[in-house]
Each structure stands twice: as structure tokens, then as C-alpha cells.
Amino acid sequence: MLERKSFILKKQFLFGVVMPRLARIASLGLTESDWLQFQRMGDLNRDGKINDEDVKILLKALNSRPGDPNWNPLADLDFDGWVGPNDILMLSDNYGKDIWTWKGLAAPTVPALLALGLMLALLLIH
């Protein structure tokens, strides 16, 4: 049981922390300011893409305000203290965008990211 829990924690760390950061590392030429601005456009998990994963995060926080159990300040894209229709509109206007195209850069290649991710996964599993 303890071994399975450890594996699950490692998997969550790999896909929740490491892979999004690998995407950032692989895209030289982007500043922290670029990442913050793109996050405010709807990239709530900061993986460089505005996609279904970001929609899920926003929907979990929908109709929430500070102090609510489902409040997520990242989902409050318009900074009005409420996750509502305007936030949905902002994310939907930018849905499908990626930070590299948005900044006019070449996107990181999938094989490069996969190779880095697999190396880290092997380190984490053993």
C-alpha cells in the first residue's frame, strides 16, 4: 500500500510539476512576465497552452469568491473577485493558443520534452 501511494505521489509530481516546467525550460526567449501575462489569458496551469486542462481548473472555481472552498484566484482572470462569465469569455477567446506562437517563437519539440520527461520519470521511480 505504501509503495503504491509513493508511486502515485511521484506520478503527480512528474505530471503536475515537472512536465509544465520542462515546457518552460524548453522555450528559451520567454520571460517570467510573458508567462504571467499568458497565464492571465487563460493558461491556468502554466503549461504554455490554453486548453481543456485550463477549462477544468476554471470550471472547478466557477461562481466562487475569496473564502469559498472552491476559490482559485488564478481562475479570476478579470480580477473582479468572482469567477464568473467574464472569466469564461476571456479563456474561450484565447482557447487553443500556445505561448510560443503568441510570442512568435518556435514551439519546443515533443521528442525533446518526452526525452527529458522520461529521464526524470526514471529517476523518480527508482
Domain boundaries, the chain: 1-26+109-126, 32-100
Residue 52 has pLDDT above 90, yes or no: yes
Q: Which three cell numbers stand for residue 33?
A: 512576465
What single-letter amino acid sits at 32? E
User: Is the predicted pLDDT of residue 20 greater than 80, yes or no?
Assistant: no
Task: Give me the phi and psi of 49, to 5 degrees please.
Answer: -135, 140
Instruction: Give mean pLDDT, residues 81-107.
Output: 93
CATH tag, 32-100: 1.10.1330.10
Mean pLDDT of 8-37: 70
